Amino acid sequence: MKTADCLALWLESRSRFTGLLPSLQAADLSKRLGKAPNSVGFLIRHIGDVELLFSKNVFQFPDVQVTAKTVIAQKDTGEWTNLPALLDYIELSADTLKRAIESIQDEEWSREITTKEFGTKTLNQALGRIISHTAYHAGQLAILLKYGESDRQV
């Protein structure tokens, strides 16, 4: 597969997530569904955290700085309530992952990498992993935005 094709696939799949963002309001960030552990704000931050982790650890993109707070905490701490900061963060993560994908040469996509999170995969398979990760959480976000309730205490 060619890098341009991989980039096009990732961008199209990420549109399921980015399509939810234009109508997002600050009050939406605390929405949860029933006893679901994660809020809208947490999921947005988590997508950004994982995109940056992929850039750094999977695509080995140099100089990526990431403190994956949602991965470290492993739960929603209730702190993801600043909409402009979250939007800036996911813009940074998208730009970083885009540049990381673009840095891969066409012939490298079959190269294997090993991570502690998901073992040994080719870069093509790893790309599938980040695509499915974002799509999975985009579906959760869509449900939370439609049916979730705000201001639940953590």
Is residue 60 included in any domain, yes or no?
yes
CATH number, position 100:
1.20.120.450
61 φ, ψ to 5°? -75, 130
Specify the number of domains making up the chain. Answer: 1
In 64-151, where does DSSP find H-type helix?
69-73, 83-102, 123-147
Q: What is the pLDDT of residues 111-149, one digit of tens each?
A: 999 988 889 999 999 999 999 999 999 999 999 999 999
Placement of tokens 């398979």 in the chain: 125
Is residue 154 included in any domain, yes or no?
no
Mean pLDDT comparison of 71-80, 104-113, 116-125, highest-scoring range? 104-113
Q: What is the pLDDT of residues 44-69, one digit of tens each?
A: 999 999 999 999 999 998 889 888 88
Query: What pLDDT does residue 154 have?
Result: 44
